[in-house]
Structure formats: structure tokens, C-alpha cells
Amino acid sequence: MRSVYLDHAATTLVDPRVLKKMLPYFSENFGNPDSLHACGRRAVAAVDDARDVVAALLGASASEIYFTSGGTEADNWAMRGAAHAADGKHIVVGATEHHAVLGAAEMLAGEGYAVSYAPVDAQGKADLPALSSLVRGDTALVAFMAANNEVGTVQPVAQVAEIAHERGALFFTDAVQAAGCMELNVRKLGADLLSLSAHKFYGPKGVGALYIRGGTPMAKLISGGQQERGMRGGTVNVPGVVGMAEAFRLACAEREERNAHISRVRDLFVEGILREVPGSVLGGHPEDRLPGNAHFTFEGAPAEALLPLLDLAGVQASAGAACSSGSHEPSHVLLAMGRPRSLSRGVRFTFGKDSSEEDALFAVSAVRDCVARLRTK
Ligand code: PLP
């Protein structure tokens, strides 16, 4: 039976070219980069090269890149590290952030920080005047993601950075979903902190990076050895960072070609759904959205009932963070966009570089049939 993977925002497969680069660091070059002998020196050279590549692709210096265990760690470090090192006890966080950021904000709230949630409009875009009114003299940090993982809306990051900086606050952007699809130059964006995760752009899971602008006051999240210039204890995941750098390099080099292909396939799917499935509502921004993202809510066919049916029919999609963990709670992203609870459990279909037009057409028929079955129940 045909099976179509439309969950690239959850994770992607490792590109064979990336895997090839990684493999020697599991075997002949297995050294610990902290060892001073030849084996360790080979590992340290690989980590240095990877750091150079990631830095250059972000328009940063190598000394500003810190490798982490993924996007969640980078997000937690950005939030907690910046807040703990600052004088101000207030932070502003986008209402549609990933749970890694929201969770860190909740922990800070538990420690006595005041947290304000910056609203978005019905298409998931930052409401800039509202955000501006939330930033105060004691605001340590403003966190706003570059692109949303659920509905794909791309945010006016440079403008948010400007608002934060006008009041002397730091600006952090979670670029986990944007990386690879969008140009990310930290200077142009005005980011003081920016997080990445390799498995979203055809790299391995369990490795990410945090960009920390040189001179930014920052506390540690993980203490231990002197790795990562004494800022993040723990032996660096050498094959992981090698893979991350190669995956990021390929994603940036092939960005235009990939985006053109992915958005064409995605648009075919969106047009098909809107034509063939009455009562389907496209979520997110009509133009400013990630190329692979199509988010739909189907009246009378809630995500938690639709997703298992789609899976049986050979279409693998997801519901964004809440439902994927087995909960049937409405999505905080859709609620923040002003949706009523009845329309706040949608399905996220995310296309990737290897998705085909046939995949899109197959998925349209599967969605049409599964939604019809649920509605006649
Ligand atoms: N931030 C965003 C926007 C994400 O979409 C994700 C993953 O889904 C993360 C952070 C967490 O990244 P990781 O899976 O590497 O911990």
C-alpha cells in the first residue's frame, strides 16, 4: 500500500550525503575532542570545521556558535541563560512559541520572573503594536520564533528585534523551523540569540546549536567540563555536529531549488483540499508561510479522529505539539489566533524535498475520503 510521509516539520530523514560525512566519526575518527592526543585532535578539527560552517551560514563568528543536544536545549538555554544573567525580571514571549520556549518561560515565572505573552493576529502573525506595548524598562528578553511549527506563519523577526532593542532588551528567535527554508543572517535579523535543530533539515536528531551574539551576558544551563568555551558542559556529539553542519550547508546551498519544488507540491495539495473537501479551513498566513506547511481544520472531523484514519489510509501527518503527545487539548497556537475551541484542533501536513506531486494528489483523495467517513458517522 502507498504510504506518504507528510510530517517533515516533526522530523526529516538524514540525507545520505550527511550520513556519509558522519560515519567516520563513529568509527576510525571516534576520538573525544577534549583529548589532547592525535585521535582527539582529529575530532576537534571536525568540530571546529562544523562550527565554522554553521557560523558562516548564519553570518556569525565561530566563537558565537555553541552546540547543544537539540532545539529544546538551545531554547531553554536561550531563555534561562539570558534571563538569569540580566538585571530585569520581566520577559516577553510570543503566544504561539514552541513548548520548549513556553516551558522555559513557565519555569522562569516559577522563579519570580514576570512573563507577558505577545499576541498574534488571526493568521498567526505577531501583533507588533501590542508587542511593543508589552516591552518595559525592566524587560530582560523578548522571544519570538522565526516561523511557527504548527501553522507555518513566518514572523517579522527584524521588526520584533528592533522593538526589543529600543527598550534595551535582548532578542531571541527560535529558528528551528525556519532554518534551511529561509535566509537566516543574525546581523540582518538583529538576533542576540538564535536556536537551530539539525533533524528539521535532513540532519541527525539530538543535535542543535545556539547562536549567542558576542558580548551577550549569558548564564550556563548545563554545568560540567570546560566544553564549548566553558559555557556548556558535556562531550560534544562529534558525528552529530559534523552531520548538522553538512545538512545546514546543503539546505542553504539548495534552498531556492528545494523551496520552489516543495511549495509547488504543497500548493497542489492546498488547492486540491480546498476544491474537494468542503468545510476545510486553511490555517496560518496565506503568503508568509513556510514552503512545506499546509495546516487545515476540517469542520466535523477533529484532528484526533482524523489522524488515525489518515494513517490507516497511508498518509502520515500530525496535529502539532499538543495532540501528538496523545492529548486532545486544543492547540495553543490556534487559540492564540482567535479560533473558537471547535476549530482549534487541526491537522498539519508538512511537505519535504522528496515529496512528489503524486504524493500530494494521493493525500488529497485520502483526506477527502477520511473526512467524508467521519462526517457520516
Ligand atoms: N522549536 C521549534 C519551533 C520546533 O518545531 C521544535 C521541534 O519540533 C523544537 C523547538 C525542539 O527541537 P528538538 O526536537 O531538536 O528538541
Contact between 245 and 180 (Cβ < 8 Å): no
3-state secondary structure of 319: coil
Atom of ligand 1 nearest to the CA of 198: 15
Whether residue 208 has its Cβ less than 6 Å from ligand 1? yes
Domain of residue 365, CATH code: 3.90.1150.10
Residue 37 Cα to ligand 1 midpoint, Å, equals: 36
Whether residue 98 has its Cβ less than 6 Å from ligand 1? yes
Whether residue 291 has its Cβ less than 6 Å from ligand 1? no
pLDDT lower than 50: segments of the chain: 322-325
The residue whose CA has the least distance to atom 10 of ligand 1 is: 71
Is residue 110 located within the same domain as residue 239?
Answer: yes
Whether residue 174 has its Cβ less than 6 Å from ligand 1? yes
**What is the residue range of 147's domain?**
16-253
Is residue 148 located within the same domain as residue 95?
Answer: yes
Is residue 8 located within the same domain as residue 22?
Answer: no
3-state secondary structure of 93: strand
Name the residues annotated as catalytic.
323
Q: Answer with the one of 253, 277, 297 that is the final residue of a domain.
A: 253
Whether residue 118 has its Cβ less than 6 Å from ligand 1? no
Total Cβ atoms within 10 A of residue 3: 11
Q: Which residues of 263-299 are buried (b: 16+ CB within 10 A; e: fewer)?
A: bebbebbbebbeeebeebebbbbeeebbbbbbbbbbe
How many CA atoms within 13 Å lie on the side-chain side of 177?
27
Number of domains in the chain: 2
Q: At residue 281, what is the residue type?
A: V
Residue 73 Cα to ligand 1 midpoint, Å, equals: 9
Total Cβ atoms within 10 A of residue 254: 15
Is residue 234 located within the same domain as residue 260?
Answer: no
Atom of ligand 1 nearest to the CA of 145: 3
Is residue 259 located within the same domain as residue 204?
Answer: no
Binning the chain into helix, strand and coil, the percentages to the nearest 5 are 45, 15, 40
CA–CA dist 72, 200 (Å, integer): 13
Q: Answer with the one of 229, 253, 277 that is the final residue of a domain.
A: 253
Q: What is the DSSP string of 292-345?
A: TEEEEEETT--HHHHHHHHHHTTEE-B--HHHHTT--PPPHHHHHTT--GGG--
Is residue 241 located within the same domain as residue 273?
Answer: no
Whether residue 352 has its Cβ less than 6 Å from ligand 1? no
Whether residue 149 has its Cβ less than 6 Å from ligand 1? yes
pLDDT value at residue 105: 98
Is residue 302 located within the same domain as residue 188?
Answer: no
Is residue 249 located within the same domain as residue 259?
Answer: no
The residue whose CA has the least distance to atom 9 of ligand 1 is: 71
Q: Answer with the one of 233, 253, 273 that is the final residue of a domain.
A: 253
Whether residue 75 has its Cβ less than 6 Å from ligand 1? yes
Is residue 237 located within the same domain as residue 311?
Answer: no
Query: How, if at all, do strands 4-5 and 65-68 pair?
Result: unpaired
Is residue 81 located within the same domain as residue 56?
Answer: yes
Which of 69, 77, 79, 98 for a ligand 1 pocket mutation test, highest count of atoms within 8 Å of Cβ?
A: 98
Residue 245 Cα to ligand 1 midpoint, Å, equals: 17
Is residue 323 located within the same domain as residue 245?
Answer: no
Radius of gyration of the chain (CA): 21
Domain of residue 98, CATH code: 3.40.640.10
Is residue 272 located within the same domain as residue 157?
Answer: no
Atom of ligand 1 nearest to the CA of 73: 16
Which of 200, 237, 295 for a ligand 1 pocket mutation test, highest count of atoms within 8 Å of Cβ?
A: 200
Placement of cell 508561510 in the chain:
289
Cell digits for 348? 498539519
Residue 333 Cα to ligand 1 midpoint, Å, equals: 15
List, for residues 116-171, the tens digit of each pLDDT value. Answer: 999 999 999 999 999 999 999 999 999 999 999 999 999 999 999 999 999 999 99
pLDDT value at residue 377: 74
Residue 197 Cα to ligand 1 midpoint, Å, equals: 7
Please give the backbone phi and psi of residue 182, each rounded to the nearest 5 degrees, phi first: -125, 155
Atom of ligand 1 nearest to the CA of 10: 8
List, for residues 232-254, the tens digit of each pLDDT value. Answer: 999 999 999 999 999 999 999 99
Total Cβ atoms within 10 A of residue 255: 16
Residue 195 Cα to ligand 1 midpoint, Å, equals: 9
Which of 14, 68, 72 for a ligand 1 pocket mutation test, highest count of atoms within 8 Å of Cβ?
A: 72
